[in-house]
Each structure stands twice: as structure tokens, then as C-alpha cells.
Amino acid sequence: MLKVNADFSERVVIDTSLLDWHDSPQPQIKRKLLDRLGNEIARATSIVSYLPYSEFPQHSHGGGEEILVLDGVFSDETGDYGPGSYLRNPPGSAHTPRSQEGCTIFVKLWQFSQGDLDTVRIYTHDSPWYQGLVPGLHVMPLHDCDGIGTALVHWAPNTQFQGHIHPGGEEIFVLDGVFHDEWGSYPKGTWIRSPRYSKHTPFTQSEGALIYVKTGHLGAEFIPLPSNDMG
């Protein structure tokens, strides 16, 4: 069984611009592996690149799939999805993903709870922002189920948040600007996974930041991987 950053009790910080691309089963589709537990069927977090006119054969997602389109246009039978599109394909769904012009997507697989069966399509460029807990912070909720929350968070320049603890862990992908806390500075393209009960005091400086955030999922009970992929 392939394991990449599979110890979820450890803090992981990755500058994804420095990661190598790995082959997928399709020659025109490459992956950067952020975390992975399993072989081709896996609980995984990845950045996936589709070259122009590439297509993946029809397949099902037994454990569900979450996608955030980073650039280009991602397509399947349900539509065409440009930058900022947020998609959730629930467990048991099937599709034939492709890209005519090429695209890059952030993907999470097999990270759905048993009762999380909603199909979600959000065009974040057209969705409302809500005032956060401090001035300069705005939040766009994307999904919430069984104590697991996913959102985009926009930080204005020079915004300070109070120190806080994440009992269920926290995952951040920096989409723009530079995000900071007492442990370091994280430019665009940085992926951070902080374990359960981790604590930090985040802030921004002159650049501000836009981040994808997921909380409450580390240690959660997801749909189990099939046993034949665990060898």
C-alpha cells in the first residue's frame, strides 16, 4: 500500500511548486501527491494537471470526490467548470472527466462520511462572502457535514486572528497572497495540514491572502477503502 504523509498526527507543510509530477493511468494527466493512503484506489489529497484534450475513462468514486478548480476549465458530463469552481461528487457517483483547454485541480478522494451524499456545484466567483470573526476576514462556506467544514477565507492585508485550537485538525491550501502564523510564512501554492488539537495564531501582512480551509476531518470516520487496495 502506498503511503504519502499518511501519519495524520504529524504537521505537514509543502510548497507544492517544488513537488514533482507523477504519472496517472492516463499519460496526459499528472499528479502531485500531498497525502495518500492506498494504491490507485486511495484516500488521497492531490493536485492534478490535465493537458489540453485529455480525458480520463469513465469511473466511479466509491468514497466520493471533492474538487476545486485552480486554473483552466475542467469538464465532465455535468458541465464545464472554470477557475474557482467547487465540486463534490458523492460516494457511488460516476463521471468521465476531461479538459479541452487543460486545467489544474485540487482533489480529495475517499474523504466523505457515510451520510454525506449531496452533489455540490458552487461557482465561487459568483457566491457571497460573509463577515468573519474579526475585521478584514471574510468567509465563503462551501460544505458542512458531520462536524467537517470546508470554506474559502479571504484575509485583507494586515489582518490578525486570535490564537485558537482545532480539535479535529485543520488543512489549508493557499490560493493567493501569503498566509502567516507563528510557525512560518506560506506563499501561494503552500499546503498545510495541522493535526488534531493543534493551535496557532494566524495573520496576514501587506499581501493579504486567499485560502481554502477544511476543519474537523482529521481522525473522522470516512467510508472505508476496499480491502483489496490495502495490500
Q: What is the CATH number of the domain that holds 75?
A: 2.60.120.10
Whether 47 is in a domain gets the answer yes
Considering the entire predicted model, what is its pTM? 0.96
Residue 167 belongs to a domain? no
Residue 71 belongs to a domain: yes
Distance, in Å, from the CA atom of 150 to the CA atom of 66, rounded to the nearest integer, reads: 10
Which three three-digit cell numbers place residue 18?
517544488
Q: Mean per-residue pLDDT for 24-30?
A: 94
Positive or negative torsion for Cα 209, 219, 7, 33: negative
Asked if 38 and 230 count as a contact pair (C-beta separation under 8 A), the reply is yes
- Reported as a single tens digit per residue, the pLDDT across 51-70 is 999 999 999 999 999 999 99
Q: Indicate the average pLDDT of the chain.
A: 95
For residue 37, tell me if it sits in a domain.
Answer: yes
> Domain for residue 64, yes or no?
yes
Q: Tens digits of per-residue pLDDT, 164-178?
A: 999 999 999 999 999
Q: Is 165 contained in some domain?
A: no
Residue 230 banded pLDDT, cuts 50, 70, 90: very low
**Domain interval for residue 61:** 19-123
Please compute the mean of the pLDDT values over residues 144-152 and round it to a whole number. 96
**pLDDT tier for residue 1 given thresholds of 50, 70 and 90:** confident
| Overall domain count for the chain | 1
Distances (CA, A) of 31 to 17, 27, 183, 198: 12, 11, 28, 28
- Domain assignment present for residue 221? The answer is no
Nearest to 18 by CA among 34, 35, 42: 34
